[in-house]
Amino acid sequence: MSDQLKVWVNQQLHEVLTMSNSTMAEYLIKLTQQLPTKTEVLDELRGEVTVDAKMELFVDQLWQRIRGGNHETEGSCKCKKSSTEVVKKNIMGEDSSKSKGEGSKLLARRTVTADSDNEETQRLRDLQERDEYSERLRQRDDERTRKVSEKGDEKTFEEAAKRLQLEKEDREKVFMKYLVKRKDDKQKELKADIKDDEFFFEEEDLTERERKDCEYKRSVLKLTKKYDQVQDDENEQGYVTPDEKVSVDDRDVEVDEREKKHGDEQKKWEEDQRRGTSLSFGARDKAKRCQETEKEYNLVFEDEIKFIKSLPLAGTRKKTEKKTKEQKKEEDSNQEEDEEEKEEPKVSEFKKKTMTIQEVQRSLSVYPCRGSLLAAIEEHQVLIIEGEPGSGKTTQIPQYLLEHGYCQDGKKIVCTQPRKVAAMSVAARVAEEMGKKLGNEVGYSIRFEDCTSEQTKVKYMTDGMLLREFLVDPSLAGYSVIMIDEAHERTLHTDILFVLLKDIIRFRPDLKLLVSSATLDSAKFSDFFNAAPIFRIPGRRYPVHIYNTRSPEVNYIEAAAITVLQIHITQQLGDILVFLTGQEEIEACQEMLTEHIKGLSSKIQELLILPFYANLPSDMQAKIFEPTPPGARKVILATNIAETSLTIDGISYVIDSGYVKQNYFNVRSGMESLVVNPISQSSANQRAGRAGRVRPGKCFRLYTQWTFENEMEENTIPEIQRVNIGNVFLQLKSLGIHDLINFYYLDPPPAETSKLALEQLYALKALNYKGELTSMGRKMAEIPVEPMMARMILAADQHKVVEEILTIAAMLSVNGDIFYRPKDKAIQADEARKNFFHPDGDHLTLMNVYNEWVGAEYSQQWCNEVFIQHRSMKRARDIRDQLVGLMERVEVQLSTNPGDSVVIRKAITTGYFYHVAHFSKCGGMYETVQKSQTVTIHPQSCLTENLPPWIVYHELMMTTKESMCNVIVIDGKWLLEVAPHYYKDNEEDVRN
């Protein structure tokens, strides 16, 4: 009975509280079952939520249902006490007076000394304010949706069509104007380039490659329209290409000039793909002619590295056998197997390129399972779908669902992706397959771009966006199917989504949940969703042969460089991908390789060395997607950006150093540290898999088989256990989930991290002493930044410096460097940076940079001159615009006071009073106030010479030293002014 009851209670709760969750439902049922009288239930409830007449009525009904006429229950006396305990535990996870750590001592002290009456009234007022605010928010949202629907509510279809047409034309006009200007610029540039080439190389005998290059430039000139489109938007250029895209067909698509921006990008991308493939085929043919095939290792260098061949990474055939054993539904398995074996060998990659869309769809390995898959979805509410990349699950399954009628009565199918680019390109692909325009039936929604309309039925979005939607509509009523794709990546957002979805499927029996994952974790997901069935889709991957070193390598950078040369000399053509940990290592490796090649240049084929990491300027990044010239070989030295985020075609060899740099949040020191760690077995396999996309490949691991088996973790530690989860907790709280610590996570965050997160939220006044969300907290949850930064922005309103703080917040949110510092021009770059320095600290320096960039009309030219990354600045502008747009929502008026550095710094301190460090004269070092950690100012800061007594830092990073990044000078007294509740006990210290 209890499940049914819970569903009912949840529905009622939804009515009464405009929110719902089953923890609350369970709690209520328990109360009603255990307390002796209804009045006591109500009293107990008042401690939790505001109880109005509606609520009272509901409790009355519940009482009737459960207790009926029966007024006595055993054990009711002791229940009262235990449920109070429960509430208390919900706040801190354990009895707060017993907790360790300074923060909680402070909390305990506060709870004891506080005047309880004042506390109570304050709390009630706060809660009331919060509810009022929520109500206002809701009304505004309603109004907005009404406006939208009114807009779409023209009397006749013709009128609506006309309006849409007009709007569209308007957009297009602006866009075309822009295109023309762009084209002219680029054409000029290209012309000059070609002229240069002709001038310099006229008389010389051009090599094949150079001639190709010239021809290419000329052809580009003709195709400018298509090309400048892409060159413009560096951020998106050439990035992720989801697996399914490999099978893009070669149909000639007419260029529709009026197509939207991303549509064009998509085409350009396909163009690139086609070119890349045909050329790399050329390369392969040539290699065959050279008879360089399949030689095993020859002794080439004195310090040659010996590899041992071990078992290959499973190709398709092997998978099939394994599958038969595991497959739960036998008939499915047999069926799949048969069809697969017939089909598999025939479909070559080349053939795929020339097929029509329909043929491609049929050739994908989900296609044969269509019927059984739909039946399984019909039968089960939750289904785990397991399949190799490239099986077509991301693109095909939503279409199947749509065709099968899951979108009736206006509900949508949604599919989440961990990355923006993936969401965009998959949506574009599906729109094309369905012959619909992107943004109509098929759309996508990502942070800075919502490309959907009222007719959208299939929606691709990033997981973070779906999480945001939970804040607006906690039951996700608009969706009929939710598909979580790439779940095995275990990003923070997917993990949280799981928690929330597990909750809502209990009272939304009509909602279907699909979780798609690579092979490894599916059993775990299945357990989490109460043994949900697993559906396996046979994959299609070429086998990758794995080679391990015979003995451990000490210097893996050098080992990598040597292996590259070994491959280059002994193996047939095919590009090499090398995994290293960071920019510095990549540069070192690059140097080493160029050094070696110099000595051999006449004897070997051409070797192109290309570095690749996120902070690399985008024009350099684009180079790795350019096709390899025939007869040459590309070596890409990459960080783990190449592990999941994007696919590079033509990779046949992978060299794996076995290490990554990972961010760990250390609770005890409150510090993030970036450390080089051995990778996990699953990520080693992921890396190896990169070699087998186009044809059978080889992976060279710079560690021994023994190391792999004994010293590596099986799986990478999920993000939720590695990072600061303050932000996540704030969001969950604002969804009405009270007990965060005992919540049922896929992998729970460490208890200490959770406690710290709650303490910080309390100190920021986002939670009251009962652990309830305050009005401040409600507003903070609305702003998509870390809690401390959100607090800073809200504080800016009091100080009337909102514009300035928003600029600073945006600049701080840009990860990656603002300042570009190439090794060869380090001195000039440092000089250029010094011009922006503000005596009061780095935050203000950043503000200067932004404002000057605005003054230079967002010019890229200007950025290049002063060694600033234009890409980062554009991102900062996007973030700032978004934040400005949100200010109305949190009821903050824009205000500005650019000259007043004191006020700006005070606002920052209000948010970051947790991050204060004091210069101790005896030690000659900085010490954090919170944990007494010895730290230094980061060398890039502008305050390295002054050493003021009190500073606020933005973040603490452990690299080679514990250093504070982005610091400002403050006056110790401000701390009392700004965060008296936190600093009143250290008053004397702060004053001197």
Partner DNA sequence: CATGCTGAA
Q: Which residues bind DNA (CB under 7 A)?
A: 418-421, 446-447, 462-465, 467-468, 491-493, 581-584, 613-615, 639-641, 645, 660-663, 674, 719, 723, 727, 784-786, 813, 815-816, 821, 826, 938-940, 944, 957, 959-961, 965
Q: Min. distance of Cβ 383 from DNA in angstroms? A: 25
| Closer residue to DNA, CB minimum distance, 434 or 501 | 501
Q: Report DSSP letters for 379-393, one per residue.
A: H-SEEEEEE-TTSSH
Q: Could you give the maximum distance between any two Cα atoms of the chain, in Å?
A: 105
Separation CA 456–CA 464 (nearest Å): 19
| Closer residue to DNA, CB minimum distance, 660 or 691 | 660
Q: Min. distance of Cβ 821 from DNA in angstroms? A: 7
Q: Which backbone phi and psi does 674 adopt, to 5 degrees? A: -105, 105
731, 781 contact by CB (below 8 A): yes
| Closer residue to DNA, CB minimum distance, 741 or 814 | 814
Q: Min. distance of Cβ 664 from DNA in angstroms? A: 8
Separation of first and last alpha carbons in the chain: 65
| Closer residue to DNA, CB minimum distance, 249 or 786 | 786
Q: Min. distance of Cβ 366 from DNA in angstroms? A: 25
Sheet strands (E) in 580-729: 607-612, 633-638, 651-656, 659-666, 671-678, 697-701
Q: Min. distance of Cβ 591 from DNA in angstroms? A: 16
Residue located via tokens 């697969």: 340
Q: Min. distance of Cβ 263 from DNA in angstroms? A: 20
| Closer residue to DNA, CB minimum distance, 106 or 818 | 818
| Closer residue to DNA, CB minimum distance, 15 or 233 | 233
The residue type of 858 is: Y
The residue type of 812 is: L
Q: Which backbone phi and psi does 631 adopt, to 5 degrees? A: 80, -5
| Closer residue to DNA, CB minimum distance, 390 or 418 | 418
Separation CA 400–CA 402 (nearest Å): 5
475, 14 contact by CB (below 8 A): yes
Q: Min. distance of Cβ 218 from DNA in angstroms? A: 33
| Closer residue to DNA, CB minimum distance, 141 or 378 | 141
Q: Min. distance of Cβ 593 from DNA in angstroms? A: 19
Q: Min. distance of Cβ 955 from DNA in angstroms? A: 7
| Closer residue to DNA, CB minimum distance, 546 or 788 | 788
Q: Min. distance of Cβ 783 from DNA in angstroms? A: 8
500, 475 contact by CB (below 8 A): no
Q: What is the DSSP letter of 16?
A: H
Separation CA 284–CA 447 (nearest Å): 41
Q: Min. distance of Cβ 196 from DNA in angstroms? A: 33
State how far the alpha carbon of 110 is from the alpha carbons of 89, 113, 423, in Å: 17, 5, 47
| Closer residue to DNA, CB minimum distance, 21 or 445 | 445
Q: Min. distance of Cβ 236 from DNA in angstroms? A: 10
Residues 6 or more apart in contact with residue 130 via CB below 8 angstroms: 773, 774, 775, 777, 778
665, 724 contact by CB (below 8 A): yes
Helices (H), 18-115: 22-34, 38-46, 53-67, 76-92, 102-113
Q: If you compute the radius of gyration of the chain from its CA atoms, what whole number of angstroms results?
A: 30
| Closer residue to DNA, CB minimum distance, 184 or 584 | 584
Q: Min. distance of Cβ 763 from DNA in angstroms? A: 19
Residue 274, Cβ neighbours under 10 Å: how many? 13
| Closer residue to DNA, CB minimum distance, 122 or 677 | 677
Per residue, the 3-state secondary structure of 715-752, as one string, reads: CCCCHHHCCCCHHHHHHHHHCCCCCCCCCCCCCCCCHH
| Closer residue to DNA, CB minimum distance, 600 or 674 | 674
Token couple for 74: 């055993």
| Closer residue to DNA, CB minimum distance, 660 or 866 | 660
Separation CA 295–CA 571 (nearest Å): 6
Instruction: Please name every residue paired with 927 in a beta bridge, in sequence order, or none if there are none.
Output: 918, 934
80, 31 contact by CB (below 8 A): no
| Closer residue to DNA, CB minimum distance, 659 or 703 | 659
Separation CA 517–CA 488 (nearest Å): 5
| Closer residue to DNA, CB minimum distance, 549 or 639 | 639
Residue 783, Cβ neighbours under 10 Å: how many? 23
Angle at 37 between CA 33 and CA 40, to 5 degrees: 95
Q: Min. distance of Cβ 579 from DNA in angstroms? A: 11
Q: Min. distance of Cβ 558 from DNA in angstroms? A: 18
Token couple for 125: 């007022």
Residue from 965, 959, 962, 964 nearest 675 by CA:
959
- State the burial class of residue 886 (Cβ atoms within 10 Å of its Cβ: 0-12, 13-18, 19+): middle
Residues in the chain: 992
Q: Min. distance of Cβ 963 from DNA in angstroms? A: 7
Q: Min. distance of Cβ 939 from DNA in angstroms? A: 3
Q: What is the DSSP letter of 7?
A: H
State how far the alpha carbon of 915 is from the alpha carbons of 786, 973, 975, in Å: 14, 15, 11
| Closer residue to DNA, CB minimum distance, 97 or 583 | 583
Residue from 596, 599, 601 nearest 563 by CA:
596
Residue 227, Cβ neighbours under 10 Å: how many? 20
Q: Min. distance of Cβ 655 from DNA in angstroms? A: 17
| Closer residue to DNA, CB minimum distance, 340 or 962 | 962
42, 58 contact by CB (below 8 A): no
Separation CA 232–CA 211 (nearest Å): 26
